């Protein structure tokens, strides 16, 4: 009897999570006009939570593209997004960069230091995610990937000396509430709101980000 109840509760939690993922993906399309696409998902095997890709050593279990043609699968249609997550409700929610936004990636410690500095400077911020791997992604206007190395260089830093990179065309970020294995879920450090619908240019944020990464070395 206990096994039946446990199995029923597990199925209910799984179903509720799938509904939440689908609703969230649709909301990103509807409210933010972001393209979305479903990625891999977590499966239970031998009591462990593994990636649906089948690789037991997957570095980002449940949080990467499920197929090589993912870029063509990304959609800005509410109807298509609903259909994609109806086919696989527990699929992770991934956002392609280089379309509606690029993302500047930094370590978590540097990211929170930069956030505090940006708020003191009263800079306009876009959404910011924080991953279970202790990385942060600052959403900025598209085109940042091409110019960030030059901006960093102009500040006096060799780009390769900082743990700072930019995700543009051909890359993606995992969006909340995507879970990464047993490490936890991607979360918002700065949530998408009507106030940050208009994204900052990379040039506006690069100085505090580079400074924080320099201190974090």
The 10s digit of each residue's pLDDT in 38-58 is: 999 999 887 788 999 999 999
The C-alpha atoms of residue 90 and residue 178 are separated, in whole angstroms, by: 9
pLDDT at 1: 34
Tokens read off for 124: 């306009």
pTM: 0.90
- Mean pLDDT in the chain? 91
What residue spans define the domains of the chain?
1-92, 97-217
Query: What percentage of the chain has pLDDT greater than the value 70?
Result: 91
Alpha-carbon gap, residue 65 to 51, rounded angstroms:
11
Could you tell me the sign of the dihedral formed by the alpha carbons of 145, 31, 70, 162, in that order? positive
For the segment 98-128, what is each residue's pLDDT rounded down to a tens digit?
999 999 999 999 999 999 999 999 999 999 9
Please report the pLDDT score of residue 17 as a whole number: 58
In 3D space, the residue among 122, 217, 114, 206 whose CA is nearest the CA of residue 165 turns out to be 206
Q: What pLDDT score was predicted for residue 217? A: 67
CA distances from 105 to 43, 138, 140, 151, 194 (A): 28, 7, 11, 15, 23
- Reported as a single tens digit per residue, the pLDDT across 21-38 is 999 999 999 999 999 999
**Contacts of 35 by beta carbon, 8 Å cutoff, 6+ apart:** 29, 74, 75, 76, 95, 96, 99, 100
Q: What is the pLDDT of residue 101?
A: 97
Query: Mean per-residue pLDDT for 176-181?
Result: 95
pLDDT of 12 over the 50 cut: no
Asked if the model's pLDDT at residue 84 lies above 70, the reply is yes
Give domain 97-217's CATH architecture: 2-Layer Sandwich (3.30)
Residue 6 has pLDDT above 60, yes or no: no
């Amino acid at each position: 009897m206990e096994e039946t109840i446990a199995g029923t509760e597990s199925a209910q939690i799984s179903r509720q999570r799938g509904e939440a993922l689908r609703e969230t993906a649709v909301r990103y399309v509807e409210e933010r006009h972001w393209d979305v696409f479903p990625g891999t998902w977590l499966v239970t095997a031998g009591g462990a939570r593994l990636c649906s890709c089948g690789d037991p050593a997957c570095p980002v279990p449940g949080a990467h593209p499920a197929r090589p043609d993912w870029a063509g699968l990304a959609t800005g249609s509410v109807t298509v997004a609903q259909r994609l997550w109806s086919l696989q409700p527990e699929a992770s929610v991934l956002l392609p960069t280089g379309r509606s936004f690029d993302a500047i990636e930094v370590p978590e410690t540097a990211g929170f230091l930069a956030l505090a500095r940006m708020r003191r400077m009263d800079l306009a911020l876009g959404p910011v995610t924080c991953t279970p791997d202790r990385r942060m992604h600052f959403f900025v206007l598209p085109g940042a990937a091409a110019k960030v190395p030059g901006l960093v260089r102009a500040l006096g830093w060799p780009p390769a000396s900082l743990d700072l990179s930019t995700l543009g065309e051909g890359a993606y970020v995992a969006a909340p509430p995507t879970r990464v294995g047993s490490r936890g879920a991607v979360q918002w450090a700065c949530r998408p709101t009507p106030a940050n619908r208009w994204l900052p240019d990379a040039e506006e944020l690069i100085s505090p980000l580079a400074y924080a990464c320099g201190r974090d070395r």
